[in-house]
Amino acid sequence: MVREIMRAPRSSWSKIWERSLTDQQWRKPATDWGHEHEPAAAAEFWARHPEYDEVRCLGDGELVEWRDPRHELWGFAAGSPDRVLVRGDAIVAGLEIKCPFKQENHILFAMMRDIPEVHEWQTRWYMELCGVPYWWFASYDPRLGSLAEVRVVRDHAKHKAMIDRVIDFKRYVCGES
């Protein structure tokens, strides 16, 4: 939803909000495919990155909440990252995993090695939620046995724009503007 908020004019925010409450079923086959293969992707990632003590899967429905002391609206700002990367007791980064249903989407990412725009804001949102300087984005295709990855680093200008826009959206949803 953060991607849509970033791209859409304010006049369409009510539609985005309504759709977010009702629009989850159309993705079901592709989502099921991704969830089925996500553990193998995470295991492959960890095998490549032993610098992390743990590649932790959050429990089903477990959310990371973000509370910004400057804004009281954050009581319901949260996200559910695919994995958080841990050293000692600290979350130091995260991992967003996509297992594309369409093989060509994985191949394109593997060739380009740049985060697809469609996933950039989701990845940046999780980075913000966890307060870490970078996040990994990975695409995995079990049919090819292929994992492609890119490290997304914090871009302060993009993050500030995202936070400002999300705050504006939350105010809109709460009827404060």
Token pair 């990367």: residue? 85
DSSP 57-116: EPPTT--EE---TT-GGGGG-EE--SEEEEETTEEEEEEEEE--SSHHHHHHHHHH-S--
Say if residue 11's pLDDT is above 50: yes
Q: Provide the pLDDT for residue 3.
A: 67
Which of 130, 118, 133, 115 is CA-nearest to residue 82?
Answer: 130
Q: List the single range of 6-10, 150-154, 165-169, 171-175 with lowest mean pLDDT.
A: 6-10
pTM for this entry: 0.80
Instruction: Report pLDDT digits (tens) over 116-163.
Output: 888 999 999 889 888 899 999 999 999 999 999 999 999 999 999 988
In the chain, the domains with their CATH numbers are 29-173 (3.90.320.10)
Say if residue 4's pLDDT is above 50: yes
Average pLDDT, the chain: 82
Q: Contact at 8 Å (CB) between 82 and 122?
A: no
* Separation between Cα atoms, residue 33 and residue 2, nearest integer Å: 23
Say if residue 165's pLDDT is above 80: yes
Q: Contact at 8 Å (CB) between 139 and 100?
A: yes
